[in-house]
Chains A and B, each alone.
Chain A
Amino acid sequence: MATPLTATVDLVARFPDSVSADARPGYTGFIVKKENLVEVATAIRDEFGYDLLTAVTGVDYLAENKMEVVYHAYKTTGGTGLIFKVQVDRVDPVEVPSLYDIWAGVDFQEREAYDLLGIRFTGHPDLRRILMWEGYDGHPLRKDWKEPFFEEEAKPFKSRWPDGQHTFAENKNPFRDNLSFPAGFDPEAYQPENEDDLYASLERFRSKGADDALKTDHIVVNMGPHHPSTHGVLRVAITLDGETITGLKPVMGYLHRNHDKIGERNTYLQIIPYTDRLDYFNSMSNNFGYVTTVEKLMKIPVAERAEYIRVIMAELSRIQNHLIFIGMLMNDLGTMYTPSLYAFEERELVLDIFEAVSGARMMCNYFRFGGVVRDIPDFALQKIKDLVYERLPSKTDEMERFLNENEVLVARLNGMHVLNAEDAIRYSVTGPVLRAAGVPYDLRRADPYSIYDRFDFDVAVRYNGDMMDNYLIRFDEIRQSLRILEQALKQMPEGPINSQKPQYQVRVPAGEAYGRIESPKGELGFYVVSNGKPNPYRYHVRPASFVNLQAVEKMCVGAKIADFVALLAMLDIVMGELDR
C-alpha cells in the first residue's frame, strides 16, 4: 500500500486567515500564524485526528532573520503526517506559544529548542535548559554561535585538506583547549547557578494527615548520574513520601555530544558514522533512518538487493536489542548476570554477522545513499540462515521457558502498571511501550518505509500495559522479526548493492525532509534541511528514548522507589540517543 507523499488535509481551507501553504521549493506543510497556533493545533488534534505529535524542532534561518518551529503530527491509526510550522522574527526574546496543553509530548522537545536555539515557549510549565546546564553561555544551535574549536562553517576544513598540512584546533584557541568565555569574565567572582528550579519543579509532598497526626516531610533523592541501574549517565531527582514516589524529574545532558551541531558542519556522508553512535546498540537502525531521510531529499531509488540487506540488518539489530533489554531488565530486577549472560551470548553471534559485513562489531557505518557499502559475504549469509532458521528460534523458546513462569518474576511484573494507551499517546510514546498498552502502532505497518509492505508479519500488541506485557512484547517482536527475516532471506534477489556510484560528496537538492523508521526503541526520526550545499543546513534527530522518557514521571508517580529502576528499564532508554 503506497501512501501519499503529502497530507491530504487542507488546512488553508479551514483557516484561510491564519494558515498558508509552505510554498518554498522542496518544502511541504503549512505555515501557521503565531497568534493562531494554539487554535489551529487544537483543530489538528480534535477535528483532523492527528493525535500523536512526534517531532518538534526549531530551525534558525539566519539570512531571512527568522526562527521557525516545525511540528510533525501523525495519527496513531497510521498514514502520513501533517507538518505545520510557525515563523517568528529572530529578535530576542523569540517567543512561540507552547503546545504543552494539547500534546504533553512536546515537553522535552520544546525545552530542547529553548536550550539549543533560545526559543521561549510561553505557557510551558517547566521551561528550563535540558541538555546544557543553567548558566551556560549562549544557545549553541543558532547559526551565529561558534563553538570554541570553530574552524569553518563546513567540512572538509581547509586546514586538514588537501595537502595534509593540518593545524590542531587547539592552536587556534586562546586557551589551547575546548573553552570559550565571555569578555571580561572573572572566574573567581563567579557564582554557579543553583538547582532550585529543578527542585521547585518537583511535586512536593506535604503532610496530609489530621492536625494531631505525625507531621512528615518529603525526601529528595538524586539518582545518578553515576548509578549502575540508570542505563548510562542519566540523573533523576525524586521526591518521596516514605517509599512512594510523589514527584520525579529526569536530568539529562551528561552525554550531550553535540550531534546536531557537528552534523551541520559535516557533509552528508560524514554524518553516517555519527549516527552509529546515537543508539549504540542499533547502529544499523540508525543508519537506516538517516539514509532513508536523505534519499527522500535526493529522490533516488534504492537497489533492490540493498533493500533486502537493509531489512535483514535492521531486524537482526532489533533482535539483539530486545535480547539485551531482557537481560538488562533481569539485572535491574536483581537476578544479577545469569540471564544477561545468556542474552549476550546470542548477541555476540549477531555482532559476528555485523562484523563480517561491515568490519565493525558495533559501529557498522554500513548504509550508503542508494544502497549499502558492500555485499554480504557467502559465509556470513550462511551464518545468518543458521541463526534465523535454527538457533535464534530455539534460544528464544529456551529463554521464555526459563524466565516467563518464574515465580519471582511473575510476582514482580504482573499487574505493575506502566502506561495506559491514552497517556502513552498524549506523551508521544512510541515503540514497544505504546504497543504493550494496546495501540498497534508500528511504523513498518502504519507508514511503511523501505520494503516492509512486502512482508507478512503481525504487529506485536498486548493490552494490559503492565510490566509483564511490556516484557513479553519483546519476545513477540523477536518472533515477528524472525518471520520477516525468513521471508527476506528467501526473497532476496541477486544484483547490485547500490543504485548510485560510490561518491564522497552527494548532491542534495534544497528542501526539507522528515524520515522516520521503527527503531527497536520506538520512532527514530531525522529532520534534515538542505540548502543545496554539501552539508545540511539543519540536521535534527528525533530519538525514541528522549521522547519516550517524557512519560517517566507519569509512570512512576505513585509507585514505590524500588520499582523505579524496573519501570525505567521498560522504556529501554539509551543515553547516546537520549542526549545525542
Chain B
Amino acid sequence: MENEKLSLPNYNIPEDLEHVVAITTIDRLYNWGRRSSVWPLMFGLACCAIEMIAAQTARYDMARFGMEVMRPTPRQADMMLVSGTVTKKMLPAIIRLYNQMPEPKYVVAMGACASSGGPFKEGYNVVAGIDKFLPVDVYIPGCPPTPQALIAGMIKLQEKIDKQSIKKVRWYQKGREDANYVPMPILGPDLIDVRRNAEIKQAAAVKEGA
C-alpha cells in the first residue's frame, strides 16, 4: 500500500495502519489495476510486429511495465496493438476482434501504416489509418518504431489510463453502446463501410451521371 498513486495524501491514517490501509477513490483503484496489467492482444500484422516481439525479449523487456502477457484470444485482452499495415482484406477480421474484446479496451496504432497508411497509403488495398474505424488511444510514429518508442507509447497509454474516470469513459456511458461496437465493413467492389452507405450510393450515382 505504499504505492503513492493509490493512497490519497490528504487523509491521516494512524501510524500503525500505514502499511495496511489505504484510503483512495474508486477511480484510482480501478486505474491502478488497469494500468499495471495491460494485456495486449497477440496480434501481429506486418513489420511492426517483429519490433513488438523484440520489445518483449530480454533486451527491452516490456514485462517491466506489466504488459508481457500476450493473449491470443480477444476475450482476455485489454489492448489491441495494431502493429502494421491495415489492408482492406484484413479489416473485417480486425473489427471483429475489436468487437470481441471486453471493455476496458484500448487501441494503440503502432507505426506509420496503422496511423495513416504510411508508405503504402496510396495502395489500392490499404486502409489509410486504423482510426477510420477504431478509436485510437495512442499513435506511435516510426517505420517501424523501435522497441524503445513502443515502450514510450505504452507508458503514454498508462498515463492516459491514470487520468480516466469510470463516470466518463466512453464504454460505460448510456446511449454510447456504439463505443464498444463497430459495424462490420463488407468486402464488395471496394471496402464498404456500412456507416457511409448513403454517401457511397450518392457518389456512385454522380459518377454514373458524369
Contact = CB atoms under 8 A, between A and B. Distances in A.
Contacts of B191: 179
Contact of A262 (B72, B122, B127, B132): B122
Interface in B60-101: 72, 84-85, 87, 89-90, 93, 97
A281 B187 contact: no
B47 A363 contact: yes
A188 B124 CA distance: 22
A341 B84 contact: no
Contacts of B203: 174-175, 181
Interface residues of B, number: 57
Contacts of A132: 89, 125
Interface in A149-188: 149, 151, 169-170, 174-175, 177-188
B176 interface: no
A195 B116 CA distance: 31
Contact of A232 (B44, B58, B127, B197): B44
A575 B46 contact: yes
Contact of A341 (B57, B90, B132, B186): B57
B128 interface: yes
A573 B82 CA distance: 21
A482 to B, nearest CB: 23
B207 interface: yes
A340 B117 CA distance: 31
Q: How large is the interface on A (under 10, 10 to 19, 20 to 34, 35 or more residues)?
A: 35 or more
A185 B189 contact: yes
A182 B53 CA distance: 41
Nearest to A228: B72
A277 interface: yes
Interface string B174-204: 0000000000001111111010110111011
B28 to A, nearest CB: 34
A137 B207 CA distance: 15
A148 B190 contact: yes
B128 A254 contact: no
B200 to A, nearest CB: 5
A226 interface: yes
Contacts of A576: 46-47
Contact of B119 (A140, A147, A261, A273): A273
Of B146, B197, B203, chain A has the most CB atoms within 10 Å of the CB of B203
Contact of B192 (A182, A187, A344): A187
A353 to B, nearest CB: 15
B120 interface: yes
Given A253-B89, A345-B58, A363-B144, A177 B205 contact: no
Contacts of A232: 44-46, 49
B123 A257 contact: yes
B42 interface: yes
A250 interface: no
A233 interface: yes
A79 B92 CA distance: 46
B58 A281 contact: no
A495 interface: no
A192 B186 contact: yes
A181 B125 contact: no
A140 B97 CA distance: 29
Contact of B144 (A169, A179, A362): A362
Interface string B98-134: 0000000000000000000101111111111000100
Interface of A: 131-133, 135-137, 140, 147-149, 151, 169-170, 174-175, 177-188, 190, 192, 225-228, 232-233, 253-258, 261-262, 265, 273-274, 277, 280-281, 340-341, 344-345, 347-348, 361-363, 575-576
Interface of B: 42-47, 49-51, 53-54, 57-59, 72, 84-85, 87, 89-90, 93, 97, 117, 119-128, 132, 143-144, 146, 186-192, 194, 196-197, 199-201, 203-208, 210
6 contacts: A132-B89, A179-B190, A228-B72, A232-B49, A253-B87, A280-B47
